[in-house]
Amino acid sequence: MSQETPVLRVKKGKELVLDITAAAFEGKGLGKVGDYAVFVKHTTPGDRVRVRITRKRKNFAEGVLLELVAPSPDRIPPKCRHAGTCGGCTWQHIAYEKELEYKSGHVRDHFQRIGGFKDIATEAVIGAPEPFYYRNKMEYTFGDRRWLTEREVASDREIADRDFALGLHVPGRYDRILNLEECHLQIPVSYEILDAVREHALSHDIAPYNTHRHEGFLRNLIIRNAEQTGDLMVNLVTNGEEEAIMAGFAEWLPSRFPQITTVIHTINDTRSPSSEGRYQKVLYGPGFITEHIGPYRFRIDPNTFFQTNTRQAKALYDVVLDALKPESVPVLYDLYCGVGTLSVYLSEMAGRVVGIELHPGAVEKARENAASNGVDHALFEQGDMKDIFNDDLIRRHGRPDVIVTDPPRAGMHESVIGQILEILPEKIIYVSCNSATQARDAALLAEKYSLERIQPVDMFPRTYHIESVAVLSRKGT
């Protein structure tokens, strides 16, 4: 074998010029040296780039972008100055219509390559009407170990507040915070609140938290907004109580931002990095916000899980609802139901809805959501899916005609798939944020089910993440 084979030409630390030919999963661009793959972040198909190899494996390598030699025609200027440093928006440099095309290709590739489904065509991605300002929740972090940007380092000026940061974690660094100077993920007032809280903390000499020493007061700033009602929650997470400091925040925040409808104080005085904390106090307002999805109302408490993109959540739920039509079903199971938003949304199409969820708090909230919306035919069971989804549960609630499942990124446990194949509902509607594990599970179900439809929905514009709905019908029905 010649020493000039592609694998031998690619070495860690070496610089190469590559043509990026494809958008790989997880937001990386793909270039090749012969048949050898090199993945590079912050690139797009059509780019010619100079890169340095940072990691080499038998079948692929990874590189860091050093220079954009010739830009792709699909490349656009990022909206935010932090693009490329912050981990919040990884695809700001790609035209949105191309982003949707790449995401559709990822879903199709997973079902063909991992699932083994041939000659399938995913439907056009349901894109977001607004690719920015779509998140209804942002969780920012305080820290005394600020990440200096290349621009700040190059300026060679003294940074007076370098020991105080409020922003997002730098990717891969739990202890370093990028001090945000702008953010376009949530409605504009979100960043305005972040900026004002930072200035308030600096002017009042309120210390940020240090994860190593377990010292300092301010830990997180969480902002949640309701698109349909306009409710706005600010939740400050701190290391201890300090009543005088929090009384100051409680008085100042609503007067500075009259849009705020409630202020929460969460106390996390442990070393746990969780923003949920040990307990909470309501400093202003009712302590929750209310949101609508379609005709249904949902109460959102500080730690309530809720789909992050409200408008696209409705689009996603409508895909599932349309898959149930035209006739209602006697019994519908909603596996991994969370706080029951989808269970409630689908209730008009089922005689009985049975939701199953692991977390007790989520089950309690699901029951509250059903009751507050007058949905008395939705029942909820708490437990680990692989243990509770069994013959006894089916005897108590009836055999499902349709199963809707929205599992974690890891997909469904084999025993859950086995139970589905035993009870054989007429239809399975599989919602997933990870089309790779969705395709794997669909392949296991293909013994007795036909894949009818794959509908991607873009819940997270400007990132590589994509939600997809797969509809499977029982063979022979």
Establish if 1 belongs to a structural domain: no
Give catalytic residue positions: 433
Do 289 and 385 lie in one domain? The reply is no
Domain count along the chain: 3
Do 364 and 284 lie in one domain? The reply is no
Establish if 405 belongs to a structural domain: yes
Q: Which pLDDT does position 6 carry in this prediction? A: 60
Which of 225, 258, 293 is the last residue in one of the domains?
Answer: 293
pLDDT value at 94 more than 60: yes
Q: Which pLDDT does position 189 carry in this prediction? A: 97
What residues make up the domain containing 37?
A: 6-70
Do 390 and 263 lie in one domain? The reply is no
| Residues 142-184 pLDDT 10s | 999 887 766 666 666 767 677 899 999 887 776 789 999 999 9
Q: Which pLDDT does position 158 carry in this prediction? A: 66
Do 285 and 144 lie in one domain? The reply is yes
Which of 231, 266, 293 is the last residue in one of the domains?
Answer: 293
Do 315 and 286 lie in one domain? The reply is no
Q: pLDDT above 70 covers what percent of the chain?
A: 96
Establish if 92 belongs to a structural domain: no
Do 263 and 316 lie in one domain? The reply is no
Do 316 and 449 lie in one domain? The reply is yes
Do 206 and 269 lie in one domain? The reply is yes
Which CATH number belongs to the domain containing residue 464 in this structure? 3.40.50.150
Do 319 and 467 lie in one domain? The reply is yes
Which CATH number belongs to the domain containing residue 62 in this structure? 2.40.50.140
Do 374 and 456 lie in one domain? The reply is yes
Q: Which pLDDT does position 194 carry in this prediction? A: 97
| Residues 281-322 pLDDT 10s | 999 999 999 999 999 999 999 999 999 999 999 999 999 999
Establish if 441 belongs to a structural domain: yes
Establish if 396 belongs to a structural domain: yes
Do 187 and 329 lie in one domain? The reply is no
Written in H, E and C, the secondary structure of the chain is CCCCCHHHHCCCCCEEEEEEEEECHHHEEEEEECCEEEEEECCCCCCEEEEEEEEECCCEEEEEEEEEEECCCCECCCCCCCECCECCCCCCCECHHHHHHHHHHHHHHHHHHCCCCCCCCCCCCECCCCCCCCECEEEEEEECCEECCHHHHHHCCCCCCCCCEEEEECCCCCCCEEECCCCCCECHHHHHHHHHHHHHHHHCCCCECECCCCECCEEEEEEEECCCCCCEEEEEEECCCCHHHHHHHHHHHHHHCCCCCEEEEEECCCCCCCCCCCEEEEEECCCCEEEEECCEEEEECCCCCCCCCHHHHHHHHHHHHHHHCCCCEEEEEEECCCCCHHHHHHHHHEEEEEEEECCHHHHHHHHHHHHHCCCCCEEEEECCHHHHCCHHHHHHHCCCCEEEECCCCCCCCHHHHHHHHHHCCCEEEEEECCHHHHHHHHHHHCCCEEEEEEEEECCCCCCCCCEEEEEEEECCC
Establish if 302 belongs to a structural domain: no
Per-residue confidence band for 25, with pLDDT thresholds at 50, 70 and 90 = confident
Which CATH number belongs to the domain containing residue 276 in this structure? 2.40.50.1070
Do 167 and 270 lie in one domain? The reply is yes
Range in 149-158, 385-394, 446-455 the model is least confident about: 149-158
Establish if 98 belongs to a structural domain: no
Establish if 389 belongs to a structural domain: yes
Do 217 and 240 touch, CB atoms closer than 8 A?
Answer: yes
Instruction: Write down the pTM of the prediction.
Output: 0.92
Q: In what order do the strands lie in the sheet containing 329-335?
A: 378-382, 350-357, 329-335, 402-405, 427-432, 467-474, 449-457
CA distances from 73 to 26, 60, 379 (A): 21, 26, 52
